[in-house]
Amino acid sequence: MFARKIILIFICISVSLATKIEVKALNFYSDENKGESVLSGNVEVKRGDDILNAEKLIIYTDKNRKPIRYEAMQNASFKINLRGKIYRGKGDKFIYNVESDVYEIKGNAYINEPENNQKLYGDRIIVDKKKNIYQVQSKDKKPARFVFDLKQK
């Protein structure tokens, strides 16, 4: 009966003194030799106000077991705070590079900034939080799209 209950795995990793990452999932597998942990089933990652959800997440770590990269796939969606604004999005694959603080969304990439109703669509969207740089790329002659409302004063 215990095996039938939902198992939640909590991993709290201190990235810096002020930031803690909490990861929840139904299933967990770790290979310390490779520096990989695979989580699956209702995966949720919280770091401050940022939240990532997916069905599968791979966490890559260095030799000290400190996370260096996260790769979320299968219904990957997120909510991140950039310069005081909340952004929501989704894509086929979501990659977060911890050291450079860069987010990358690959395949059917979408970001929405609800406060101003601004939306980005493309095959690949890159958000560099440290440099405040946004990049949208498309392929197969399918254009990147930007949707925004013009406010009249």
Q: pLDDT tens track of the chain, all 153 residues?
A: 222 222 222 232 223 333 677 888 999 998 888 999 999 999 998 888 889 899 999 999 998 888 899 999 999 999 988 778 888 999 999 998 988 988 899 999 988 888 888 888 889 988 887 887 778 888 776 666 556 565 644
Q: What is the CATH number of domain 20-147?
A: 2.60.450.10
Amino acid at 61: T
40 CB-contact burial (10 Å; exposed 0-12 / middle 13-18 / buried 19+): middle
DSSP-derived letter for residue 65 is S
55, two tokens:
């069905």
Torsion angle, alpha carbons of 53, 46, 111, 88, to 10:
90
